[in-house]
A and B are shown apart, each in its own frame.
Chain A
Amino acid sequence: DGGITQSPKYLFRKEGQNVTLSCEQNLNHDAMYWYRQDPGQGLRLIYYSQIVNDFQKGDIAEGYSVSREKKESFPLTVTSAQKNPTAFYLCASSTPYRGGLGTEAFFGQGTRLTVV
């Protein structure tokens, strides 16, 4: 089955620690994304990568870092510099742009990170 897998589903972190969220896809998509969702809020883009070994900051990249060493994997590290890391994190990948068919994003099931 093709899809996106995020792990773990729940994650607890002590203040001052870095933590890495995993995202793996077997859809053969070039583009991958990380979003953050806070209660009652929409999806805010943290980082995105359109090709291996390349990535760009989204709207709220401060306190986060990513790597894209393999097409299938796009891990997100939440660093101690992130002031308010408790949130629901979503990873996605998207099809290439297909002219009149646009692009479609596929999401993982999310990771809920809680700072204790």
Chain B
Amino acid sequence: DQQVKQNSPSLSVQEGRISILNCDYTNSMFDYFLWYKKYPAEGPTFLISISSIKDKNEDGRFTVFLNKSAKHLSLHIVPSQPGDSAVYFCAASGSSAGNMLTFGGGTRLMVKP
């Protein structure tokens, strides 16, 4: 049973517009969430995170929103740039899992010039 799900395998957005990537989780013990970005043939790199005590965290063009009651988080990229084209993974951790991260299946974002 997948505890972290990214239901959209791919997303295509025009350059300059907003990209919204979604992630749902089922384990209510998760209290820290991360987004990773991955280019082909490279390892994922950390992008942004949010603690469950917050509902929003911003870092430049990237904002993560957390809705605990819906067990849903989203990553907003504004404005989207062609260099943002990559696979984005959401991940979650919690006290019950210790130092384990549970990853979603990823969403491939394509930003068209």
Contact = CB atoms under 8 A, between A and B. Distances in A.
A110 B46 contact: no
Contacts of A43: 44, 89, 103, 106
B106 A88 contact: no
Interface in A90-109: 90, 92, 94-97, 99-109
A103 B53 contact: no
B32 A100 contact: yes
A42 interface: yes
Contacts of A41: 105-106
Nearest to B102: A45
Interface stretch (B59-67, B72-80, B90-98): B90-98
Contact of A96 (B36, B45, B97, B99): B99
Interface residues of A, number: 30
B43 A108 contact: yes
A2 interface: no
A38 B94 CA distance: 27
A94 B70 CA distance: 27
B46 to A, nearest CB: 6
A101 B100 contact: no
Q: For the complex of A and B, list the 3 residue pairs with the smallest distance between their C-beta atoms, beginning with the closest.
A: A102-B32, A107-B43, A42-B105
Given A40-B9, A50-B98, A110-B43, 16 more contacts: A6-B43, A43-B103, A43-B106, A95-B99, A96-B99, A97-B99, A101-B51, A102-B33, A102-B34, A102-B51, A103-B99, A105-B91, A107-B43, A107-B44, A110-B41, A112-B41
Interface of B: 6, 9, 31-34, 36, 41-46, 49, 51-53, 89, 91, 93-95, 97-101, 103-106
Interface of A: 4, 6, 30-31, 40-43, 48, 50, 88, 90, 92, 94-97, 99-110, 112
